[in-house]
Amino acid sequence: MAAAMIRRAVDSTPDLAEALDHGRLAIGIRVDRRGWVRPVAKVIGDVFREYCTRRHPQKPAPARDPIEILPSQDDFDLEVLQEVPQVDDYGDYPDPPLALPRWSIFHHSPSSGSRHELERLDDALAEDLAAGTGSVFVAAPSEQFPPAFSAALDFELELRPPTGAMVAAAMAECAGQTPAHVLPEELCALLDSLDFCLAGRAATTVDDWTRRLERTALGRIPVPPPVPPPIPPYLPGMPEFVDWAERLRRDLQDYRDGLIAWPEVAGRGVVLVGPPGVGKTQQLITLAARSGIPLISTSHGRWQSAGHQGDMLAAMARTFEDAARQKLCLVFVDELDAFLARGRGGNPSHESYNHQVMNFFLELLDGAAGRTGIIVVGACNFVERLDPALIRPGRMERVIRIGLPDQDVLAQILRYHLGEDVLADADLSGVAALAAGRTGADCELAVRSARGRARAGRRQMELADLEAEFAPPEPLADNRGPALRRLCAVHEAGHAVTAVLLQPGFLVSASISPSVDGGLGGVLYSAPAVDVIGQTEMLALVRILLAGRAAEEIVLGSPSGGAGGDEDSDLGKATFMVARMLANYGFGGQFTWAGRIDAESLPQIFALNSALAKRVEQVLAAQYGSACDLISHYRKAVEAVADLLLARITVSAEDVTMILVAFAPNAANVGGTLQ
């Protein structure tokens, strides 16, 4: 096989066959795979002699075996493949035979390649050429010819891989059989001489040899590296998050480039506040991909599932150790508000447990063992439940609020998940209106489900597929009588009208549809459309919470117990808000912080601080009176919204706004102050 490869190269090189008669040539030969170096070096002298005798068909000199000088103290290989015979070796030949040129064959040994060794090779090659011996150097693809020899080359040959026909011919010569299947050229290029030796076994057919060679070559086909998925853009509708994320990304690159120190990287600890499904995790995945850093995602629940307290603390430590090994890493801790704040009271054993867990988490954030290179992002639904020490500078020092997307943003999110090619010309505003109150996760699920519906029908996706995903579900059986349905409609209408009046953009929709958890209706809100929530905004939220009960009293003559119940009821939420205003936020003339306000601690605080309890009651009563006045003033609008709820079950903020414009065109924001 090696001889056939050499013959093909000689035949395709102009003037080389004739020049071989004279010898004294410097020839460089490069093979395409290292495994061909020695086989080519062993047969090249015979092939060159073959060309000489073919051109001068005289009786050849007595054959002598090539003498191979193996590397010993020299770090290169030398073979003298043909010596000029002496005169007395001719015997009784009538005519002296052709004196064939001598050739010295060199190639690198496995350990050669240094500059000193290449210079020694140059010296050896020069000596042979000066003595009239031709020199051939055989090199693998990654090897260099000795520099001086390379500059003096007469011919440089590139030995291409054997063809399938050459392989078949070699098999026929060895075994006397021609294989039924000829190897493709691209597979032959992946084989070298050792492969042919291993494949050509005795007592097997040439077709067996071919199959072995094919299997060997297929195993060497390089597998292209996986194409990394395209980095998705950020979800729309979160400008504050994107501003922080892009600034962080630039700082991380500057830190990599040595332009800034780690303490100068901005936003290394952040809390994302918002309801589930708005896209917090997806945004962090995008940030990590755009920054080229790994993301470790965990949660309070995952840490706690490790076992008892010691196991939980060990799991927390492992997360930060794994992040530290990455050099640069983004750690996402979900359910941050499940870390109960210290000093909340309650069961002493629970307080001790929570205290130790929180202290250890704070220690990890402080980086007693070094937090260089670790960005920590937490997520929660209720930032007010977090321990104040958690969100101080140096730890999780920034809070970014992410609310439910409005209709415009919902349309952008739908387009984000659809891509640019699906429903490219469709107006998604109608679907976005159907999706009012939904999250980014709801939109992503709706797009996936709509694609699935189209695939099941073996057709292109249509706008109707997407609309169907947001169609209201079949209503539950409504066994309420007319009086109860009317009461529910008036209650929700009171909330809806007051929300539109006091906090424009706050209301999403109102409904009197029964729910599986026993609810008789409800109002869906987005984040308040203000940057800073002060006393006026808080009082407006309190009045919105109390407006359902006020509407029952004004429109129906007396209130029901629907506004009360547990801490998530209208009265419960309003009480918490007013208590926090007075005891935590410094409104109402009291600046002393009176402790964390939640469902567990508030009854104890009221029991110990009757003055605070009395003051909360006064504020609630005053705001309830204001809510009643507001409902009285806009009673016709409230009744019209209630009638629309009875007819449609669900009304949007736009529906409520249109009714207010019709019944009270001069409606204006009516904030308030503590009374």
In one letter, which amino acid is 374?
I
CA atoms within 13 A on the CB side of 78: 21
Q: What is the pLDDT of residues 596-613, one digit of tens each?
A: 777 778 888 888 888 888
Res 341: pLDDT: 59
| Top-confidence residue, 75 or 440 | 440
9-23, 42-56, 66-80, 452-466: segment of lowest average pLDDT: 66-80
- 108, 128, 159: which is the final residue of a domain? 159
Q: Would 673 be classed as within a structural domain? A: no
Residue 267: both structure tokens together: 């936003």
Res 516: pLDDT: 58
Residue 87 has pLDDT above 50, yes or no: no
Residues 202, 309, single domain; the answer is no
Res 387: pLDDT: 83
Residue 566 has pLDDT above 60, yes or no: yes
Q: Which of 79, 444, 469, 492 is catalytic?
A: 492
Q: Would 357 be classed as within a structural domain? A: yes
Q: Would 613 be classed as within a structural domain? A: yes
Task: Give yes or no for a contact between 624 and 479, defined as CB atoms under 8 angstroms apart.
Answer: no
Task: Give yes or no for a contact between 247 and 293, defined as CB atoms under 8 angstroms apart.
Answer: no
Distances (CA, A) of 527 to 182, 338, 383, 429, 574: 72, 22, 14, 21, 17
Q: Would 674 be classed as within a structural domain? A: no
Q: What is the pLDDT of residues 166-180, one digit of tens each?
A: 999 989 988 888 899
Residues 326, 421, single domain; the answer is no
158-167, 247-256, 469-478: segment of lowest average pLDDT: 469-478
Name the band, by pLDDT with cuts 50, 70 and 90, for residue 349.
Answer: low
Residues 634, 497, single domain; the answer is yes
CA 459 to chain centre: 31
Residues 210, 150, single domain; the answer is no
- 437, 469, 501: which is the final residue of a domain? 469
Distances (CA, A) of 471 to 104, 459, 465, 647: 87, 21, 10, 17
Domain of residue 632, CATH code = 1.20.58.760
Domain of residue 465, CATH code = 1.10.8.60
Name the band, by pLDDT with cuts 50, 70 and 90, for residue 222.
Answer: confident
Residues 520, 656, single domain; the answer is yes
Residues 295, 437, single domain; the answer is no
Res 534: pLDDT: 78
SS3 state at 428: coil
Q: What is the pLDDT of residues 443-460, one digit of tens each?
A: 999 999 999 989 998 999
Residues 154, 169, single domain; the answer is no
Nearest in space to 140 (alpha carbons), one of 70, 222, 36: 36
Name the strands in the sheet holding 26-31, side by side, starting at the edge strand that comes first in the sequence.
67-69, 76-82, 103-108, 134-139, 26-31, 155-159
323-327, 543-547, 639-643: segment of lowest average pLDDT: 323-327
How far apart are the C-alpha atoms of 135 and 133, rounded to whole Å?
6
Q: Would 54 be classed as within a structural domain? A: yes
Distances (CA, A) of 378 to 301, 317, 396, 669: 13, 16, 8, 36
Q: Would 231 be classed as within a structural domain? A: no
Residues 377, 419, single domain; the answer is no
CA 538 to chain centre: 40
SS3 state at 235: coil
Task: Give yes or no for a contact between 141 and 32, defined as CB atoms under 8 angstroms apart.
Answer: yes
Torsion of CA 595, 597, 600, 606, to 10 degrees: 70
Res 252: pLDDT: 94
Task: Give yes or no for a contact between 33 and 5, defined as CB atoms under 8 angstroms apart.
Answer: no
Residues 66, 175, single domain; the answer is no
Residues 260, 207, single domain; the answer is no
Specify whether 246 is catalytic: no
Q: Would 493 be classed as within a structural domain? A: yes
Q: Would 365 be classed as within a structural domain? A: yes
Q: What is the pLDDT of residues 365-401, one digit of tens each?
A: 886 445 788 999 999 887 777 888 888 887 888 899 8
How far apart are the C-alpha atoms of 277 and 272, rounded to whole Å?
12
Residues 349, 393, single domain; the answer is yes
Q: What is the pLDDT of residues 131-169, one digit of tens each?
A: 888 899 999 888 888 888 889 999 999 999 999 999 999
- 142, 159, 176: which is the final residue of a domain? 159
Domain of residue 278, CATH code = 3.40.50.300
Number of domains in the chain: 5
Res 675: pLDDT: 40
Res 116: pLDDT: 63
Residues 279, 345, single domain; the answer is yes
Q: What is the residue range of 207's domain?
A: 164-218
